[in-house]
Copies of this chain bind each other. A is one copy, B any other.
Amino acid sequence: MFSVLVTGANRGLGLTFVRQLLNLAKPPEHVFACCRSPENAADLQTIASNNPAVKVLKLDVANKLTYKDTVHDVEQIVGDQGLNLLINNAGIISRGNVENASTEDMERLYQVNVVGTLGVTQAFLPILRRAASFTNSDDETMSIEKSAIVNISSIMGSITLNNSSSAVAYRTSKAALNMLTNCMSIEFASYGVLAVAMHPGWVQTDMGGVDKAPVTPHESVSGVLATLDKLKGLDASGKCYEYTGRTLPW
């Protein structure tokens, strides 16, 4: 893999993605670590100062005005080789159930988790397509090595497996994100761009709860990367995978 972009990269899973991508046997040549406030992302800045592959870029997925400069910066660096992997990791949660969910929470989570993912994907699609058509081999099979979009979703977006009405704004946003991912896979297949949703597990992060969650960020991201590595071709696209590799029902 030549280049990867991760949103929400300043902490939690996003930060772990950056670290583990750099530790791969064949690390990417470029890791674009995007977050809302690069100036406050101390961990990312430390990583970047020790590793020229990492660029810390400003991107607020809920604010389209921040897309243009970031796309430009990435484009300047990747050139004709394009962007191979977009990890739409930025996301937020809220806790209310059906009776007490607020309009504000419903709209805010949708704006970040779904509309933000759509907007970022639209913005980077031209350079994802460039990566899909840039190739040194005759292998046309879709894969994350060539060009892929990974939307970090959740098992809480699976209606089939649903057993609670807690965090309803989060559940509805992730069900919508799963549909969006499936639509991406259909629309982008002819471009050679794979699109999948990924459930990272219940992870020890600020979102998952450091004390309660059973999965460490390291275990989660290792599993996600191993799962992504196996995805080949049209049949692999458009699904939701768990970090363990199993396919989740909608």
Interface of A is mostly: helix
Chain B neighbourhood of A163, CB < 8 A: 186
Measured CA separation A75–B64 after assembly (Å): 44
Query: Would you call B115 and A187 a contact (CB within 8 A)?
Result: no
Q: In the bound complex, do residue A187 and residue B98 qualify as a contact, i.e. CB atoms below 8 Å apart?
A: yes
A143 interfacial contact with B, CB 8 Å? no
Among A101, A121, A182: residue with most chain B CB under 10 A = A182
Cα(A155)–Cα(B149), bound, Å: 25
Closest CB of chain B to A115's CB: distance in Å?
A: 5
Which residues from B are CB-within-8-Å of A122? 98-99
Residues of B within 8 A of A233 (CB): none
Query: How far is it, in angstroms, between the C-alpha of A77 and the C-alpha of B187 when the chains are bound?
Result: 51
Q: Given A159-B250, A165-B184, A176-B179, 11 more contacts at CB 8 Å?
A: A98-B187, A103-B119, A106-B110, A106-B114, A110-B114, A159-B178, A163-B186, A165-B187, A168-B179, A168-B180, A172-B179
